């Protein structure tokens, strides 16, 4: 293989793909990026850890076709630090990649391209187009309440559903739940899928969406095409394709977790509540993060105490005229939900001391957050 490519295009493609390569795998080939050219004026890039796969392409002047697998991180670091301009890449007979840019020369070992795993393919499956801004908003509103415990795969991911013209994402770690939706235009194709996307896949999708939106700045927000095929999710934008092996697990019945009605409804400034929680949690127990909510007519009293640190309290004016109640919550759980929203006010729906808190924005965002109470 022999070709010339601009540093900008080379680095852009490596940035998209190198993070997917698995440097800790017992299979050395998975720490590599596959480079391939077929004489069509394109250099193709692919990386996988057998659960996630990312592929893309960049324009190049191809002198000789071929493939090679090269250490992903090493190649990325080299190209990132090359001088601006054109970069030449040549593969020698012993699978070494020689990289030149101006007076700079590197030669790094590679592996045969044919040893690289075959990436999943969507084949002829139909894709549904979703605007990147709305997809990114679903992720932002829910990603923080995924479990990080990989031994609980039914919780360590996001349920992503397409229900008619409604796209929905739901996450829970067993202590809290977040559900966000957005309605697609009436003329959009109907959605019909339900897939449990592992948290690493959600992280890569989030990065992909951010890049799509950055590319589309000044020209709409861009779109991401979505397909569900044979246990894999595919997300596509132009020549960039992310595939994710879905978790073969049953997501909890989230509709049963969301209370249908609560006795008390408190409307409060989102920013004021978030700032108060940040202050009062300074003296909360490091392990539990517990803050006591004392709700009474027109006011919420936040209190926290820790024998080793001290105690604190703060009052906030709220829109509430119901009966008094005291209930405890993990402050960080509520802070995460408040931080993901953009509305000026939120509604806290409360029951008794042992009932969960339901967080809803006072505004157009279709979001529901559920936070389980704590005994304090």
Q: Burial level of 196, CB count in 10 A (0-12/13-18/19+)?
A: buried
58 has which bridge partners? Answer: 43
pTM: 0.92
Predicted pLDDT at 220 = 58
Which superfamily, per CATH, for 258-371? DNA Polymerase III, subunit A, domain 2 (3.10.150.10)
* Cα 53 to Cα 51: distance, rounded to the nearest angstrom: 7
CATH fold match for the domains 128-254 and 258-371? yes
Predicted pLDDT at 221 = 67
Q: Do 105 and 17 contact (CB within 8 A), yes or no? A: no
Q: Do 294 and 277 contact (CB within 8 A), yes or no? A: no
Domain with residues 128-254, CATH architecture: Roll (3.10)
Question: What topology does CATH give the domain 2-115?
Answer: DNA Polymerase III; Chain A, domain 2 (3.10.150)
Mean pLDDT for each 10-residue chunk of the chain (376 residues)? 96 95 90 92 96 96 95 97 97 93 96 95 91 95 95 96 94 97 86 94 96 75 90 95 96 94 93 96 85 95 91 96 93 96 97 94 96 88
Sketch the domain layout of the chain as residue ranges.
Answer: 2-115, 128-254, 258-371
Predicted pLDDT at 218 = 55
């Amino acid at each position: 293989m022999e070709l010339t490519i601009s540093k900008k295009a080379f680095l852009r493609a490596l940035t998209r793909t190198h993070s997917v390569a698995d440097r800790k795998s017992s299979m050395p080939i998975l720490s590599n990026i596959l480079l391939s050219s077929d004489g069509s004026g394109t250099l193709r890039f692919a990386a996988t850890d057998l659960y996630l796969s990312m592929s893309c392409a960049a324009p190049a002047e191809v002198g000789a076709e071929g493939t090679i697998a090269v250490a992903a991180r090493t190649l990325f670091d080299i190209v990132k630090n090359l001088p601006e301009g054109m970069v030449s890449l040549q593969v020698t007979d012993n699978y070494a990649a020689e990289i030149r840019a101006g007076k700079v020369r590197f030669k790094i070992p590679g592996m045969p391209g044919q040893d690289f795993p075959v990436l999943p393919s969507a084949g002829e499956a139909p894709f549904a187009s979703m605007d990147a801004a709305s997809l990114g908003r679903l992720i932002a509103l829910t990603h923080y309440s995924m479990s990080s415990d990989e031994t609980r795969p039914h919780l360590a991911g996001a349920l992503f559903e397409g229900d008619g013209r409604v796209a929905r994402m739901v996450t829970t770690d067993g202590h809290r739940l977040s559900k966000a939706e957005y309605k697609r235009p009436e003329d959009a194709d109907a959605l019909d899928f339900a897939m449990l996307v592992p948290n690493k896949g959600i992280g890569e999708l989030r990065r992909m969406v951010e890049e799509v939106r950055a590319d589309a700045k000044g020209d709409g927000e861009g779109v991401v095409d979505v397909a569900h095929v044979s246990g894999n999710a595919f997300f596509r934008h132009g020549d960039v394709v992310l595939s994710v092996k879905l978790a073969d697990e049953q997501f909890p019945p989230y509709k049963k977790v969301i209370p249908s009605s609560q006795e008390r409804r408190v409307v409060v400034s989102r920013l004021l509540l978030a700032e108060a929680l940040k202050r009062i949690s300074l003296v909360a127990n490091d392990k539990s993060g517990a803050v006591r909510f004392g709700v009474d007519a027109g006011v919420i009293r936040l209190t926290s105490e820790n024998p080793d640190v001290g105690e604190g309290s703060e009052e906030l004016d709220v829109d509430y005229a119901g009966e008094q109640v005291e209930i405890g919550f993990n402050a960080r759980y509520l802070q995460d939900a408040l931080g993901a929203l953009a509305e000026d006010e939120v509604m806290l729906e409360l029951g008794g001391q042992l009932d969960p808190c339901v967080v809803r924005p006072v505004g157009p965002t279709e979001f529901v957050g559920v936070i389980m109470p704590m005994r304090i």
